[in-house]
Amino acid sequence: MTRCIRAGVLLASVANALDARSENGKIGLGTNALVWESIIPIWKMKNGEITAIELQPIELGFGRPRYARGWPEPSKNSKIMKHLKELSSAFGTNIIIQEDGTGKVEL
């Protein structure tokens, strides 16, 4: 990493370069809320066969300060599972959305 320090002040860093490239988070991929949403799959197996797949929706801090983004947190945002269900149906995969907002892949 290349750094420039003058009078004890860090003038250039990777973080500063990323801020400059995104105009302090105003343009680029990070401005798309969908990029900051995902799921964590949890699967169960028996005798080498998958018996269940559960999906936990997560959020990664869209709209939060840079230092607080990227840390996965469980989400109650129902849109995450609904969006994944819609995308998965094109592949013949059915996701059952549970009352608690998690999903279950129908095997």
Whether pLDDT at 96 is above 50: yes
Q: How confident is residue 11, by pLDDT bands cut at 50, 70 and 90?
A: low
Collapse the DSSP code of 81 into the 3-class scheme (helix H, G, I; strand E, B; otherwise coil) and give the result. Answer: helix
Cβ pair 103, 85 in contact under 8 A: yes
pLDDT at 1: 47
- The token pair at 1 is 């990493």
pTM above the 0.95 mark? no
